[in-house]
Structure 1
Amino acid sequence: MFDHAQEQVQSYVEWLRLFVEALGALVIAAGVLVVVAGLVRHAVARGGDNFSPIRLAFARYLTLALELQLAADILSTSVAPTWDRIGKLAAIAVIRTALNYFLNKEIQMERGAELPDPGRPKSTGPEV
């Protein structure tokens, strides 16, 4: 009886893992569509070389997708934890967390570059 219940829980968790993993892939696909649409609008408007808003939008999608993929890996390991799986999860978690950290840092830096400096006085004309 216990073995049957355990197999059923493992089956449910596996389906949940597949769903979360697919959701992560869909988030990446949606991000790619947003980037393509942004690039087309940028090309039509001849907006110059500033791709920062497009890059920031894609980085947000990638950040969410990385978190979903990590959640799927955690689900996979939680069902049948072995030292091998736990080691792989730890390595994947470190890599994805580092990627997420650097993506967020880049997003913050890009946002900071786009926003005007509130401490800087507004220019009223050319300096003499």
Structure 2
Amino acid sequence: MDVPLEEVLPESALREAVDLLVRLVEAAGALIIFAGAVWVFGRFLAAAVRGGLPHRRFSRIRLGLGRFLALGLEFQLAGDVLRTAVAPSFAEIGQLAAIRTALNFFLNREIAAERAEIEREHRREREAEEAGPRRPASST
């Protein structure tokens, strides 16, 4: 006796299950972003109290926040993909793709730029250390 899938798992039950999963995944993304913001704010305050924020340290802190944002947005994107998995419209899919892709692209580009700046600063510091202290010219 073959029972149609619609009778075993009605569409309304499937929609409810997917809705629950969407909320869980989106909540995870929101928690990641919140935890990252709190953690980065703590690092910011600690650095400021210890003696200011040189550009390199500030860039590292921003890079850390960017990583949390990127990860959180990936979870948000996963929630959107789950939401559109049950009878999506082309408008929903297009809107989802455009907004999330653009946001993720620009965020990742900024993270890469910050990382490159930190690497340049490290390279300059290493070069300065390798050059060593400069001795004044002798007058003999």
- 1:54 alignment partner, one of 31, 48, 61: 61
Deviation at 1:58, TM superposition (A): 0.6
Moved more, 86-95 or 67-76: 86-95
Instruction: Show the counterpart of 1:116.
Output: 123
Q: CA deviation at 1:87?
A: 1.9
After TM superposition, give the deviation of residue 54 of structure 1 in Å: 1.1
Consecutive unaligned residues in structure 2, runs of 5 or more: none
* CA distance in 1: counterparts of 2:53 and 2:114, whole angstroms: 20
Unaligned ranges ≥5, structure 1 = none
Measured at CA, do residues 88 and 110 of structure 1 come closer, stay the same or move farther in structure 2, by a change above 3 Å? Answer: same
1:126 corresponds to which residue? Answer: 134
Which contiguous aligned blocks of 4+ residues in structure 1 show a shift greater than 6 angstroms? none
- Structure 1 or 2, whichever has the larger Rg, is 2
Query: Identical aligned pairs, as a percentage?
Result: 33
1:97–1:125 Cα change, 3 Å: same
Task: Measure the CA separation in 1 of the matches of 2:69 and 2:14.
Answer: 30
So what's the TM-score if we normalise by structure 2? 0.76
Per the alignment, residue 46 of structure 2 pairs with: 41
RMSD: 2.5
Deviations 1:55-93 (A, max 9, x none): 111111011011111111111111121122122122223
TM-score normalised according to structure 1 size:
0.82
User: Contact conserved, 1:66 with 1:100, CA < 8 A, in 2?
Assistant: no
Match of 1:21 in 2: 26
